[in-house]
Structure formats: C-alpha cells, structure tokens
Amino acid sequence: MDRKEEILRLVEEGFNTAKELSRYFNVSLMTIYRDLKELEEEGRIVRKHGFIELKKEEEPQGKVCAVCGKEVELRLAFIYILKGGKKVHTCCAHCGLIAYRTIGKEKVEMVMARDFITCNPINAFMGSFVVGSSVAPCCTPPAFVFANPEDAQKFAKGFGGIVTDFEEAVKRMEELMRSGQRADISL
C-alpha cells in the first residue's frame, strides 16, 4: 500500500493531523504536507482548521471489538487494516494480540494503535509491548503498547509485566490465555 492510501486509512480512524501522520510514518512534516496536498487535489480529503477529513460520509461511530464485543475507544484501540482494505477493530492491545493469529499474518497490511502514554499514533508492529501488568484499563490479562522502549521499561517497573516486541507479545498473550477464551472473528 502506498503512503497516500495508508494516510486515508489513518484519517478514517481519527489520526487526523499532519503531526500525527508524520510521527506515524516517521517522515518530515513537509513530506506529509506534500501527500496531503496531492490528496486534496485529488478530492479525497479536506483540511479544516488543521484537521484532515475524508471527503465522503463518515463511517458510523461506535465500533465494537471483534474479539470481546466491547465498544472501541480510539485511545486504546488496536486496529488491523487487512490487504484489500477490510478492517478489524479491537478494543485494546490485549484483544489486538489475541486477534493476530486468527486474522493471519499474511492478511495484515498494517496495524494502528496509540502510545499508551502520549496517545500518539504508532505502527503497532514497531511498538514496545508490556504484557501481563497488574493494572488493566480494558481487558485482562492486559497489554500495553509504547513507541519508546524506555517508556515500556519504566511502565513495567512500576506496574509489572514483561517488555517485548509485537511477535513475542502475541506469544506471551497466548500463553497467558491458554486455558481461556479464543478469538472468534468472522473475516
């Protein structure tokens, strides 16, 4: 998927400032502005007071988690974009990690989440995870994702849990859930 297509997907999910997008892609604001200008000229987005909006009817609000059925809040959401454009919304990193095997690596185009501390959008594949802490803002056992490995370390120091990368986090969550529920996602 090229970056402009990815931008459209991100904007659709509420990642709607140039700053957030430049952080997500780890490119300069200039580069994002160039993409946005092209998208605007193609009539696919509009910019209002610094916020980017898609130029079409918005999707209905109130997505529910594909794994547990809870209402999805943007701050904790873990969103898979599949090849072909389909999306799987999950409520938090816990459900996000559980969903991964069911969805299947080969079907996933990108995964969007937000840094637990800063709320900045991140590519979850690149994130640092903390699995199995003693606090759980959404589902248990909890998982958290951070852009910065140091933040993950600090968090784990305070609240427990193991610091790990995406693939390991999926495994850890499976171990923790072994006797528990399984994801039942219809794709």
- Residues near Zn ion (CB under 5 A) are 65, 67-68, 70, 91-92, 95, 138-139
Name the strand (E) or helix (H) holding 11: helix 3-12
- Report, in Å, the least distance between residue 71 CB and Zn ion: 9
Of 65 and 112, nearer to Zn ion (C-beta) is 65
Among candidate residues 78, 72, 93, 76, the one with its CA nearest the CA of residue 173:
93
Q: Is 88 helix (H, G, I), strand (E, B) or coil?
A: strand
Closer CB to Zn ion, 36 or 67, in the complex? 67
Q: Name the residue nearer to Zn ion (CB basis): 52 or 131.
A: 131
Number of neighbours of residue 43 by Cβ within 10 angstroms:
9
CB of 65 to Zn ion, least distance (A): 3
Amino acid at 135: V
What is the spatial distance between Cα 88 and Cα 78, in angstroms, rounded to a whole number?
9
- Return the exposure string of 113-130: e unless at least 16 CB atoms fall within 10 Å of the residue's CB, then b: bbbbeeeebbbbeebbbb
Separation of first and last alpha carbons in the chain: 20
Q: How far is the CB of 90 from Zn ion (least distance, A)?
A: 5
Asked if residue 59 lies in contact with residue 12, where contact means CB atoms within 8 angstroms, the answer is: yes
Nearer to Zn ion by C-beta: 14 or 137? Answer: 137
Q: Which residue, 162 or 185, has its beta carbon nearer to Zn ion?
A: 185
Q: What is the nearest approach in angstroms of Zn ion to the Cβ of residue 97? A: 10
CB of 67 to Zn ion, least distance (A): 4
